Chain A
Amino acid sequence: MRIVSRIFVVIVCLLSIPFMAVSTAALKQRFADGPNRVFSGGPLVAGDIHFGAEPDWSFVNPIPTIEMQLLDPPTSRRIWTVEYEGKVYVWSGYMGSIVGRMWKRWPIQAERNGKAIMRINGTRYERNLVRIQAGDELDGITAAITNKYPSQTTRSSVEQGDVWLFEAAPRNN
């Protein structure tokens, strides 16, 4: 019995090293200017803020990921994006499951306060995230998503709440 408990202790101790490495890297990223890969980053600081007319958002279509920060809380993450009919969209999958909702908290935070900043090609865009849950435009948006990414997002997955879709609309204040 003693040998079993010792083996258990040794395994836990050895696993604590990669666990500590991941935890430290995640914590360090929180103080950085934006995200890196999967860990949330701090506020987006660098880059000029875009003023003036709405850009032609089709420039995001060849870009794999963008950085997006909510104002509340001021954390950032790297996400997928797509343009459809002159508007830019972001979304989050796995929202239909409890694990997904625990893992991805930004959509819930964005629904509460949609003020966000997106940094694309070094320029920051002040936006307001507006959740879209229904409407015929979902067919086109989800088609644009599946054309760009290996995603199985469909109109019904958005309508059923498995995917939370947001238009990154202009911010008026």
Chain B
Amino acid sequence: MEMKYFYWVIAASLLITVLAVLFVPGVDDFVEQTFQRYLGRAAN
């Protein structure tokens, strides 16, 4: 039963994430910057 709520929270989080990246100014750049940081760390 409790997993059902967990899945709802994850689904809502995914939706909010997509909408934020698409429409909130600066979020896409923050995501890309963070990804670049991890990519650089993995490459070193």
Contacts and interface: CB of A to CB of B under 8 A. Distances in A.
A7 to B, nearest CB: 12
Contacts of B35: 22, 25, 38
B17 to A, nearest CB: 5
Interface residues of A, number: 19
Nearest to A28: B28
A20 B22 CA distance: 11
- B interface secondary structure, majority: helix
B42 to A, nearest CB: 12
A28 B21 contact: yes
Interface in A1-42: 6, 9-10, 13-14, 16-17, 20-22, 24-26, 28-29, 36-39
A91 B32 CA distance: 23
Contacts of B3: 6, 9
B31 to A, nearest CB: 4
B1 interface: no
Contact of B36 (A13, A28, A37): A37
